[in-house]
Structure 1
Amino acid sequence: MRNWILKSLIHAPCFVINECMHQTFYIDADEEISSVIDRLNKSVSADNYFVVPKRAIFLQSIVNLKLLKREAEKTGKRLIIVTQDEIGASMAERCGLSVKPSVEGLDVAENEPTPYVEESVYEMSPEEIDEFEDKKNRLSGIGSKDFYDAAVSSSKKNIKASANVKSQTRIPVKSSSDMKNVRSNKVAERQAQESAYEPKKSTKSFYGNKIDPYKEKTLEKMYSVGNKPLEKESTHAVSEVSGLAKKIFMAFAGLCFLIFAGVAVYLFLPSANIMISPNVLEDKIDMVIYGNTEVSQVEEKTMPVRIIDKEEKISLAYNVAENGSGAGKKARGNVALYNEYSNSPQTLIATTRIESEGKIFRLTKNVVVPGTTTVSGETKPGVIEAEVVADQPGEDFNIAPTSFKIPGFKDGPKYEKFYAKSTENFEGGTSEGAGESGSVTQRDIDNAKQKTEVALKEKIMKTVSDELKEGEIVLTPAEKITITKVGADAKIGDVTGTFNYNATASIRAIVFSENDVKSIIEQLMKEKNLKDSNWNISKVEYGTSVADFDKNTLELKIHGEIAVIPIIDIEKIKGELLGKKDDELGSVLKNYASIKSVNVEFQPTIVSRIPQYSQ
């Protein structure tokens, strides 16, 4: 039997009226506030419904909602939020926005006039009927509180369309004049409802028994979880009811991780650095070792030695004047002699003394000091310049400009009236032995010999040091230096500024290897048979040594210090210390006499127990 269903075609004028009254927008969960505001601005309707799913991004921010309300007020449009999100709805209401729980009754207002419908009968195939019924069942109740529960339960049933169903609906049609009145009335009603508007329930859809295609597509995208086949129904149910279980599982997993991490930290992360100081013993050895050129290797307390024979020459130059052979010189200078005694001239003979601060100088020749003169009623003393020389040689007479008295006039009236003044420094005075040149003295020869021999010994010792092999030692008592030739190229009394002193010397030294000395000490330590100990030579000192250069032998006293270190089984002690507390270490270490002390550094410092396991 064929099924029939009415297909309604709505005239254009009625469609415009419905669109101008309100417009519905379906918002995606991840849609930004900028996109929502853009939709509002592009709307041509005064009333705008925004269907928002739970946990939508823009619905979670009070700032976004305030921005949306401000934009609605600015454009003069009314905005209604349709959502099941209780938190988002509460925030929207606090911002002054209207909120509805579902989209039921939004297609046509309760008092809206019946649109003009051109009646027509359309025959549908069984496949189209199945599709129509499927869509109707899937999209019915969208936005209601029991939508998800109904979707889950309905998916368990087999959806089949009855082939015997025949649906024919006839809708009364009004005249075109009535439709014009409807438009004008609806405009007036919309203006009156702007301040206080309550959407009225509608029992009919604009598309009749069909769903708005745009809304159908959007809602199927938003609520696609309810349209899955039966084999996927468990996934939808779990997504709704597993929130708490997921939180419990995550909390349990986190708790297990913390417990595991705590155990790992307690057992493995703490560390302890154990520093064991062994009980080191000091052993001393004093013995005599013999050296002989005829021995090629160490034998008991005898070691091989080697002879070094070298000869060196040296020649040094000496300055006679620098060594005190010249005579001192007397300082010289010029003075001005003054006569304030009378207008008669005064003659002063050569060698006449003048004095300043205890230093005596003498005139080098006779001078006549003029008498006083009167110029414009003013008496001026007579003055003459003369050369003087110090009474004695020496640098002390090199004096700065000063005034002088004449000691020969002392205790007489002329003492205060005759005087002298210098305007320049006196120069040329030298002490004895600082002359420019002089004759060579015995003192010069002795000084030259002493300095030359010292320099020669230093040179010859450096030569021996350069001859030593690695590890060889030469002691001072085992060296014999002989001065074979000395002499100066000038004689006592020769007048000269410099002379050379020449010297030649030879050295004979007995040298030995320090490794041979240590080998003898090691042989002695091995004879002591020290068990469970290691030892090493920490110091070797050499005492008195006697060298026989005729027999090429050496007798040497030595003093040695040996550190005896006990052998400690580190792994054994470490195994006994694992897991022990700091105050329990003593009970373990008291069994080891070879250990002097133990220091344990714990990381972190709050830990006081050595870890159970070794790293």
Structure 2
Amino acid sequence: MPRTDVVPVEREDTIQALVGKMRESPSPRIIIFSPTRALFLRSEINLRLLKYYSEEENKELVLVVKDRTVKKIATKLGLQVVDRLELEEPEKPEVYQNHLPMELEELTTEAVPAREEVGNPLRGGRLLMALGVTCFSLLVAAYFLFRPRINIIVHPTVKDHLFHTVATVGANFGEREVIQGKLPIKVLEKQEELNVSLATTGRKRVGHVAAKGNAVFINSGVTPIIVPKGTVVSTKAGIKFITSKPVVVPKKTTRYELGVPMGEVYGQAEVEVEAVEKGTIGNVEKQMITKIEGHLANTLHVVNTQRFTSGEDRSVAVVQEEDLRRAEVEAKRQVALRAESEVKGMVEEGYLLLPELTETQTGQIRAEQPLGTESSTLAVKLTYKIRTSLLSKTHLYKWLEHNLAQTLPAGFRPITNEIACREVKAEGNLETAKVSVLAMAKIRGEIDHEKIRQAVAGKSLQQAKETLATFPEVGVVEFTGDPTIEQIPKQNYQVRLIVPSEK
């Protein structure tokens, strides 16, 4: 019997066919030879099946493959992998103690005298060989009698387990209180200043061009009087004008007719005046200017003989109360937006931000243009302080692991220690708050071998599959082995239960 048997992988082969070839081979050493890529060998479950059956049959399994993926998975499972096919040299026949080589046998026969009987040296060896054949036959018979007739391959259910938990967070809690659902948080602060500029909406009319016109000074005295430039005259309503140049007002004179004095003629002088305040306010009616400011008021009179019309106004932007209110609202809105982005930059490695607990405090708004200022823009400054909280991921996952063990459905266990947070919401303040966490973990069903055997014993394959489908921990079920079997044997030794994930 050859010690090594090479099982080539054909293109149309399946894992069941490959397992069958391996089990049917009498050799203790099996080489699975795949010179091309076989996709079904890339399955970790299929490689586990090969390993399982090789260990059950006490056979050494060697993989000769070129597929790097298969090599990686097989090495991970502890299977022997080589790069090329090397068959062992055939064993040399052994020389037993009572079985001499042919040359020595012939020499021994010739050396014995003809009259002496020589015993058969092979008689003891034949007896041992007969005993060996008998024992081997008994072992083969026992193997075929007690070997499993059917294999039930059970793949446990693998699913995402969602669970919800609520904990209390606060700055005064300690690490020892984590298991009790009291998680400590770290409070951070940051102070900044915000500048906001916006267009003003207030409008008002202001003087643009000063009104101009002529005023007449009247002298009733007997001496000429000089009116200097810049002399102020006004109306009874207080609208003031100033002279644009100096002027001499002559003295009064006597008017004669035929040598007879007929009356007095007051001295008059006309000069241009300009309104002190620009705009239409200087457009006064005639004879409205009647006052002279200063010492000249006692000796002279003044009057405008025509209406003034050259004064002009214009509309300008001005800061009003509504603009200040809008600037304050806009500044606070921008603070809220900036705070949302700034708190993300405050997150430290290994911590989780709780944005619902973020607090923003604003100071007094300061306007660079006071109320009533002529300006098309309004600039304001606002100082603010941000306070937020960070939750340690280590503390959170410690609490989640504690809750995962309590929420696992019966017959399941976690596949790994990894837990993913789907949603974290906080409600409260920085002193104390409630945190609601929705988490997910990968879990796998735990297969109870005895429970499975009892559930399917004596049932048809279809009934067995339907029965196992009602077990939440059981996923996919496969039956392999004797194709003629239609019913699950009741004897446990005739049924082999295989759970690849347990290998």
Normalised TM-score (structure 2): 0.36
Structure with the greater alpha carbon radius of gyration: 1
Greater RCO (Cα-Cα under 8 Å, separation 6 or more): 2
**Structure with greater strand share of residues:** 2
TM-score (norm 1): 0.30
